Amino acid sequence: MEITVSRKAHFNAAHRLYNKNWSDHKNANVFGKCNNPNYHGHNYELIVSVTGKINPETGYVIDMGELKNIIKKEIEERLDHKNLNLDIAYFSKVIPSAENICIFIYDILRQNINSEFKLSVRLYETPRNFVEYSG
Ligand code: NI
C-alpha cells in the first residue's frame, strides 16, 4: 500500500524565453510577452509529491520537516529572486520554460530524496498554468 504526501513551496524568479537560433521577429512571434528582452518575473508555486509506504514506526511516508528542508536548501535558495537565464548556468543552454524549470527541479530533488520513494513535481507559473513531471 502506497500513499502520497505533498509539500508546497514558493519562489519568485525572472526569465526570458528566447531561442538564439531564431530571428528577433520569430522569437517575438512565438514567445510573445515572455520574449521581453528586459526579462519579467513570475511567482512560481511548487508542489512536491512523494509516494511510498508508511513507515510503521513513525506513521510517516517521509518526515515533512526533512522534505521542507530539502526543498528550501536545494530549490528555494537556488532559484528565489534569481534571473534564471543569467544566474543559473543550466538555463544558459536550456530555455527556461515552465516545462524545463520543472524538469530541472525534479532532477535536483531526485538526487536528494531516497530512491525508495516515487517523486512528482508540479510547477505553477501562473495560478492557471502549471506543468507536472514524474521522471
Ligand atoms: Ni514568462
CA 112–ligand 1 middle distance (angstroms): 28
Condensed to tens digits (0 to 9), the pLDDT of residues 1-58 reads: 999 999 999 999 999 999 999 999 999 999 998 999 999 999 999 999 999 999 999 9
Q: Where are the alpha helices (DSSP H) in 14-113?
A: 24-31, 64-71, 77-79, 84-87, 98-112
User: What's the pLDDT score for residue 55?
Assistant: 96
Read off the pLDDT band of 121 (50, 70, 90).
very high
Q: Which residue pairs from 99-106 have beta carbons closer than 8 angstroms and sit at least 24 positions apart in sequence? A: 99/131, 99/133, 101/15, 101/44, 102/131, 102/132, 102/133, 103/133, 105/46, 105/75, 105/79, 106/133, 106/134, 106/135
To the nearest whole number, what is the mean pLDDT of the chain? Answer: 97
CA 38–ligand 1 middle distance (angstroms): 12
Those residues with Cβ within 8 angstroms of residue 75's Cβ, 6 or more apart along the chain or in another chain: 9, 11, 46, 105, 108, 109
Q: Hey, which residues are catalytic here?
A: 34, 81, 125
CA 16–ligand 1 middle distance (angstroms): 6
Domains of the chain as residue ranges with CATH: 2-133 (3.30.479.10)
Q: What are 7's three cell numbers?
A: 509539500
